[in-house]
Every structure is written in C-alpha cells, then in structure tokens.
Structure 1
Amino acid sequence: MARPREFDREQALEGALELFWQKGFNQASTDELLDAMQIRRQSLYNAFGDKRKLFLETLERYCARSISGHVSLLNQSTSPLDGIQDVMFSVIREDNSARLRGCMGVNSVCEFGNSDPEVAEIRDRFASILQIRLVAAFRDGQASGEVDLNMDPNEAATFVQMTLSALQVGARVGADIATLRAQAQFAINRLRSRL
C-alpha cells in the first residue's frame, strides 16, 4: 500500500515556481528547491520526477497564468488599444524585487534559447495563444478607427509580443519604472491611427 503524500502538491509547485522564476533552471540547486518546496528529496522524485520535469511543469503553470492574465486584460478593456496598453503596463511591476525577476517565460528563453525543444514548445504554444488574441484586438482597433489601417495585424501583434519581451528583459537588468513605462507608451503611440 502506497504511503499518502505528506505535503500539499500545489503549495510545493508554487515554491518551485518562485525559485525557478528568481534563479532560473541551472542556478536553482536541488537543495534550494527542496527548501522552497518544503519537501524531502524522495518526495521530489516521487511526485515530480526530477528537477527538469519539475521545471517544465512550473514553466507551463507560469505561462498559462501569465497569458490568461494578458487575455483577460484584452477582453475587459473598453477599447482594443487600451487593452494592449493595459497588457504592456501590467508587466511593469511597481515592486523593485518583483520587477527585477522579469518574466519566467522570457527568462527561460534567455537561459535556453532554442536548445531545449520542450521549453521552446511551451513558449511557442502560449505565444501563439496571445498572438491570436492580439491580432483580433488589432483588427477590432482598425475597425473602430483607433489603430492605423496600414498596419498588418499579424506584424503589429508580433511587435507587441517582442516589446513585452524587451520590457521584461529591461526590467531584469534594472531599468526603472519611468523608463519602462515611457518605452511602453512609445510603442503604443506608434500603433495609433494618424487620422
């Protein structure tokens, strides 16, 4: 008969997510993970497989939460361009320590590039969800006269995703709130209709 788990799996995953977000995969030691998750070594292997599988599960969780938040902001906004602006401003955290962590998804891209197919698959899958919603927002914005009609919605959506990544990298290397907000606003202003 198997022994019941002696820990809360959700709580342990959140602890691992926070550590991976702060330190990345390679810099997070197994001992640090055990401490952050408040579990024993054997529980890590029994419940999560290994450090790599645990990282992939936390990355998936982080990306799902992040993209869901972005899509929610786009859906709740009174105008398409305001929704895109809300998404851009949402990644600029007020708290210095939170801002310096950047984005776990972007951090994983910086750490792995395209060398890890499973990390790339998670990144690409969630980026495509956001891309689809951003394209729809740009089309809606063009229909309402808010967004420049000469812009290709797919290219504009890719531009926004790249800008989001750039803002997160800028935050990670220490850019202040004012600089990040100015860059986000600069990007938004380029998207507005000139009529």
Structure 2
Amino acid sequence: MAGRPKIFDEQEAIQKATEVFRNKGYDTASADELLNAMGIGKGSFYLAFKGGKQELYVRSIKQFSENFNKKIGQAIENSEDQIEFIRQFFLVLADAEDCDIERGCYLGNALVQLSEKDEDIKRITAELLKGLQKVFAKAIKKAQQNGQLKTQEDPEILAWHLTNLWNGIHVTRRMENSPEILRSMIEMNLKLLK
C-alpha cells in the first residue's frame, strides 16, 4: 500500500509556510502555525516533509530563491535600462521598512541565521548567490558591449561585488536602519557601474 494520495498543492503549501518563516523566523515558527498556514494536518505534513520543519524550511528557501532569481532576471531583461534597474533595485533597499518579498530579505536573513548551521541551507543559499551573480553579470556584459557602461572591469567580478553588496545590505540592515546611511553606502558601491 502506497499510502493516501496528497490532496494539497505542495508548492502552494510551501509558499504559505514561507510567509510564516518570513514573519516569525525559523526558530520561533511553531508547528501549529505552519500547519494552520499550510492548511494541512500532521499526517499529510509528515508524509510530504519527512524531515519535518527543517525539510520544509530548506524547501521553502529553495523555492523562494528560484522564484526570486527568475523574477529579478526577467525584470532586468525586460527593462529598457538594465543598469538603472539594478541601481534602483539596490536603492529601494535603503528605504524598506520591513522584510519585503521583492527585496529578497527572507533569503538574506536565512544566509545570516542558518547557513553555517546546516549544510543543505548553506548549499542552497550559495546557489542563490551564484544565480543572482549570473543575473547581474549578464546585464553588465550587455551594458559594456553596447557602450552603456564605460568601466572595463571584469563583468563577473563586478557582478560578484553587487551580489556581495546585496548580501551585505541585508546583514547591515539588522544593525543600522537609517535610510540615509544605507543609501549613502549603496550609492558609494554603485559608483562602479559607470
């Protein structure tokens, strides 16, 4: 006997659990809160997520990161001025009051909180950063080729710098929330994109 079939959409359930993790954090999100948000019972939960809460969290990060990179990649690709899009992508981080889905801070927080505690989370977050770096590198190469960027710095290294900036902003925001300071720091880093 193979067990009862799943009667819920796993991706949708993971997305709902992501909201709980995003708002409460991994450590304080309770099993009851997760089950209520996902709309499933314990039996269905453990059938789908044999590793329990930790497996759910790992899959949440992975699903979120794949969607985030895809969305950012498409938005940059479809923008008229890809470099200006990247600049604005960073500058809005200075004014963000909370953990906004569009800015990816759920992932930034996961990097800080758990990446050194768990190898799966570390691997997934490293892949996220590599994916974000590839998105930035593609836009930088294109801008250099069409003369929009004068810098002759290696696009791969510039893209890693931006990825490091994205990651660093999420860490810094945990200690410093002054939009003026954050904006000045971001603008200083973005001077490389000329």
1:26 alignment partner, SS class: coil
Q: Is the 8 A contact 1:92 1:99 kept in 2?
A: no
8 Å CA contact retained: 1:99, 1:172:
no
Please name the residue that 2:25 is paired with: 24
| 1:95-119 deviation line (CA, Å, top 9, x unaligned) | x343599612211111123342211
In structure 1, the partner of 2:141 is 139
Partner of 2:34: 33
Q: Secondary structure at the match of 1:98?
A: coil
Residue in structure 2 matched with residue 74 of structure 1 by the alignment:
76
- Identical residues among aligned pairs (%): 25
Q: Please state how far the C-alpha of 1:129 moved relative to its aligned partner.
A: 2.2
Q: Is the 8 A contact 2:94 2:182 kept in 1?
A: yes
* Runs of 4+ off more than 6 Å: none
Counterpart residue number, 1:120: 122
Contact residue 56 and residue 119 of structure 1 kept, 8 A: yes
SS at structure 1 position matched to 2:40: coil
Contact kept in structure 1, 2:151 and 2:192, CA below 8 Å: no
Query: C-alpha distance in 2, partners of 1:86/1:135?
Result: 17
Q: What letter is aligned with 1:157?
A: A
Q: Deviations over 1:133-179 (max 9, x none)?
A: 32222222222333243422122111101111122233444614454
Task: Tell whether 2:87 aligns with 1:85.
Answer: yes
Change (3 A) 1:70 1:87: farther
With over 3 angstroms needed to count, the CA separation of the structure-2 counterparts of 1:41 and 1:152, relative to structure 1, is same
Instruction: After TM superposition, give the deviation of residue 12 of structure 1 in Å.
Output: 2.5
Matched residues in 2 for 1:110 and 1:163: separation?
14
Is residue 2:166 matched to residue 1:156?
no
Q: d(CA) in 1 for partners of 2:111 and 2:174?
A: 13
CA positional deviation for 1:54: 0.8
Moved more, 59-68 or 24-33: 24-33
Q: Indicate how the Cα distance of structure 1 residues 177 and 65 shifts in structure 2: closer, same or farther if over 3 A, else same.
A: farther
Aligned length: 191
1:15 is the counterpart of 2:16: yes
Tell me the TM-score normalized by structure 1. 0.80
Unaligned runs of 5+ in 2: none
Gaps of 5+ in 1: none
Give the TM-score of the pair, scaled to structure 2: 0.81
The CA distance in 2 between the partners of 1:134 and 1:78, in whole Å, is 15
Report if the CA contact (8 A) 1:102-1:171 is conserved: no
Write out aligned runs for 1:178-189 (5 A).
178-189=180-191
Q: Is 1:55 equivalent to 2:60 in the alignment? A: no
- Pair 102,134 (structure 1): closer, same or farther in 2 beyond 3 Å: closer
Bigger share in helix: 1
Q: 1:111 is matched by which residue type in structure 2?
A: Q
